[in-house]
């Protein structure tokens, strides 16, 4: 959230770039909820409230909350979102607007233009066009951005560095956790250092899972809590001997599903269409 907060709140119309999921009916959905956008003006609310304002009603967006409609301020910032390869939309934001280094959060937003990947089926393209008649649909992304230029704000990070070290650290930490969960208990107890590492990792993951579950503020938080619980089950599996593999199954299944989904996305002509129930409403969970 810090990348979409930090500077002084702005008032006025700001043009940004964002992505959506596409429902099978042609509605555009945020990445982390099933609350579809309307054609024309959309108004964000914070229900239920999140962040430090979770107990008090407040204006949307608020500096200490995650509410509001999100939009990237530059193409460079948006490029790191994998879903941008399928759907891109130019949106105008106004009312209460808070800007950060990567983009803005806004009280009101409107879809001005939509680009869909050429792999989209013709029936999906027609349904999207029918639901959003006031937005122009493009087959050329560059043409869309040329005709709908993004706003330029001083707070935007112009040339964000591609940070490889944090990613390598996260991958290494994940590999270390998986390795600890594969070692038999006898091996873990052979050295104090290895046992202490396993104990500290297990307690840390358990605390993180509990914090995420208790403090869940949206679908993303709950999903993270379940993934962390799967990692915890993986770590404690050695304590149960041969039957410990049952505790590893949820995480193994999740990894297989994720790998399978990624491989499916590489096939020619792929375009993701959501087969989910959508709702005509908005909330403050990060869209």
Q: How far is Cα 61 from Cα 9, in angstroms, rounded to an integer?
A: 9
In whole angstroms, give the CA distance from residue 173 to residue 167: 10
The count of other CB atoms within 10 Å of the CB of residue 152 is 11
Instruction: State how far the Cα of 62 lies from the Cα of 5, in Å rounded to an integer.
Output: 9
Q: Which pLDDT belongs to residue 201?
A: 93
pLDDT at 5 over 80: no
Categorize the per-residue pLDDT at 222 as very low, low, confident or very high, splitting at 50, 70 and 90: confident
Q: Are 81 and 70 in contact (CB under 8 A)?
A: no
Q: Which tens digits make up the pLDDT trace of 230-240?
A: 999 999 999 99
Q: What percent of the chain has pLDDT over 70?
A: 83
Residue 104 has pLDDT above 60, yes or no: yes
pLDDT value at residue 161 = 58
Helices 192-214 and 219-236: crossing angle in degrees, nearest 10, is 150
pLDDT over 60 at 156, yes or no? yes
Q: What pTM did the predictor assign? A: 0.71
């Amino acid at each position: 959230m810090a990348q979409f907060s930090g500077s002084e709140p702005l008032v006025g119309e700001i043009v940004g770039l964002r992505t959506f999921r596409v429902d099978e009916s042609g509605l555009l959905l945020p990445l982390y909820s099933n609350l579809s956008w309307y054609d024309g003006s959309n108004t964000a609310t914070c229900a239920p409230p999140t962040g430090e304002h979770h107990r008090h009603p407040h204006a949307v967006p608020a500096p200490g909350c995650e509410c509001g409609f999100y939009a990237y301020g530059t193409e460079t910032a948006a490029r790191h979102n994998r879903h941008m390869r399928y759907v891109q939309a130019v949106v105008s934001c106004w009312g209460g607007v808070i800007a950060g280094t990567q983009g803005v959060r806004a009280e009101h937003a409107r879809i001005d233009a939509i680009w869909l990947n050429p792999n989209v089926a013709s029936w999906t393209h027609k349904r999207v066009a029918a639901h959003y008649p006031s937005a122009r649909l493009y087959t050329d992304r560059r043409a869309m951005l040329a005709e709908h230029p993004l706003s330029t704000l001083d707070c935007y990070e112009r040339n964000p560095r591609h940070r490889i070290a944090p990613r390598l650290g996260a991958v290494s930490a994940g590999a270390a956790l998986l390795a600890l969960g594969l070692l038999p208990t006898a091996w873990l107890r052979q050295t104090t250092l290895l046992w202490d590492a396993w104990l500290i990792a297990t307690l840390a993951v358990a605390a993180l899972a509990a914090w995420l579950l208790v403090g869940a503020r949206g679908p993303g938080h709950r999903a993270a809590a379940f993934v962390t619980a799967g990692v915890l089950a993986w770590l404690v599996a050695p304590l149960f001997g041969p039957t410990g593999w049952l505790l590893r199954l949820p995480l193994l299944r999740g990894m297989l599903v994720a790998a399978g989904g990624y491989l499916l996305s590489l096939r020619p002509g792929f375009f993701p269409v959501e087969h989910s129930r959508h709702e005509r409403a908005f909330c403050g969970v990060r869209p």
